[in-house]
Amino acid sequence: MKLFYAPGACSIGIHVLLEEIGKPYDAEAVNLREGAQFKPDFTAVNPKSKVPTLQRDDGAVLTEYPAIAVWLASTFPEAKLLPKDADSLARALEYTDFAVATLHMQGFSRMFRPSNYAPTESDHEAVKAKGEEIFAKGLGIFDKALEGKDWLVGDFSFADSALFYVCFWWAGRLGKTLPKNVAAHYARMNARPAVQRVLKAEGLA
Q: Which amino acid is at 111?
A: M
Closest CA to 126 of 137, 139, 135, 117: 117
Angle at alpha carbon of residue 51, lines to 28 and 33, rounded to 5°: 80
With beta carbons less than 8 A apart as the criterion, state whether 149 and 142 touch: no
**SS3 state of residue 55:** strand
Tens digit of each residue's pLDDT (9 = 90 or more) over 131-162: 999 999 999 999 999 999 999 999 999 999 99
Task: Categorize the per-residue pLDDT at 107 as very low, low, confident or very high, splitting at 50, 70 and 90.
Answer: very high
Tens digit of each residue's pLDDT (9 = 90 or more) over 29-52: 999 999 999 999 999 999 999 999
